């Protein structure tokens, strides 16, 4: 939810910028869009849809890694576009720490207690996946590249969340990409307009 | 309904929606925050 919050902030900022500068929002050209949708599918089944309760941890982890590799390829294919260097760097950071820690994002027991203060410690255990999410509970001293794991904490409204430096970069990249929607049309390669639209413009 | 039709009649708006959807999917797929809500799903 915190990443969707960042998306909302970026979208609001882009709309506001467009209103102030009196510009229409125009999406810029993005390559390999199909790869993005295909790459996201494994995560859809492993972490979003009710099928996540049926999928064994091994396959869920494999879904996460294969999906993020596909998403990284997509980001690298568009690295010259606004925001995509940050998106690629954030994703690479998350993927690296996930790969080095058994295929899951590490989270310390102390952080789990901060995020889930009302959940009994008996409902999770060190060395195991946390719920049906992307995290594994690992003490800091057992975590490879711990500083890339879920080390940040935020408490907003009734919700609490832990997130990684990679998540921060992804959020900033998303905001930057949305900000570019209100750039001057010549500043970024745009999706080519149809002849009809060109005549209208 | 007429609003929906006019929305899809404007290809720029359709491209904006697709662009936003693309970013949402990427952000959700690339990020790995542990959310208190996620545990109880």
pLDDT in tens, A145-161: 999 999 999 988 778 89
- Nearest residue, CB atoms, A167 vs list B15, B23, B31: B31
* Alpha carbons A83 and A196: distance in angstroms, whole number: 30
Residues counted in chain A = 201
Q: Taking a C-beta distance cutoff of 8 angstroms, is the pair A2, A167 a contact? A: yes
Q: Do B19 and A150 touch (CB under 8 A)?
A: no
| Choice among A12-21, A102-111, A117-126, A163-172 with the minimum mean pLDDT | A117-126
What is the mean predicted confidence (pLDDT) over A54-66?
Answer: 96
Residue of B nearest to A3 (CA): B27
pLDDT digits (tens, 9 = 90+) for A94-125: 999 999 999 999 999 999 999 998 888 888 99
What is the mean predicted confidence (pLDDT) over A81-86?
Answer: 97
- Nearest residue, CB atoms, A26 vs list B12, B23, B35: B12
Nearest-10 Cα torsion for A117, A146, B22, A63: -90
pLDDT attached to residue A162:
94
The pTM of the full predicted model, rounded to 2 decimals, is 0.87
φ, ψ of residue B35 to 5 degrees: the values are -105, 140
pLDDT band at B34 (very low <50, low <70, confident <90, very high): confident
């Amino acid at each position: 939810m915190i990443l969707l919050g960042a998306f909302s902030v970026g979208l609001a900022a882009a709309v506001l910028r467009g209103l102030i500068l009196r510009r229409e929002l125009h999406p810029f050209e993005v390559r390999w869009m199909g790869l993005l949708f295909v790459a996201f599918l494994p995560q859809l089944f492993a972490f979003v849809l009710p099928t996540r309760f049926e999928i064994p941890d091994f396959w869920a982890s494999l879904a996460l890694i294969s999906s993020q590799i596909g998403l990284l390829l997509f980001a690298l294919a568009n690295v010259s576009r606004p925001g995509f260097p940050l998106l690629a760097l954030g994703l690479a950071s998350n993927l690296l720490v996930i790969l080095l820690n058994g295929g899951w994002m590490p989270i310390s027991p102390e952080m789990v207690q901060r995020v889930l203060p009302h959940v009994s410690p008996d409902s999770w255990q060190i060395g195991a996946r946390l719920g049906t999410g992307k995290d594994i509970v690992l003490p800091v001293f057992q975590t490879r590249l711990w500083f890339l794991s879920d080390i940040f904490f935020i408490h907003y409204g009734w919700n609490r969340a832990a997130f990684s430096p990679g998540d921060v970069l992804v959020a900033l990249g998303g905001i930057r990409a949305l900000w570019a929607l209100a750039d001057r049309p010549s500043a970024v390669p745009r999706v080519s307009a149809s002849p009809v639209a060109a005549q209208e413009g | 309904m007429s609003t929906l039709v006019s929305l899809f009649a404007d290809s720029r708006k359709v491209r904006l929606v697709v662009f936003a959807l693309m970013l949402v999917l990427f952000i959700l797929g690339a990020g790995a925050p542990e959310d208190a809500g996620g545990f109880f799903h």
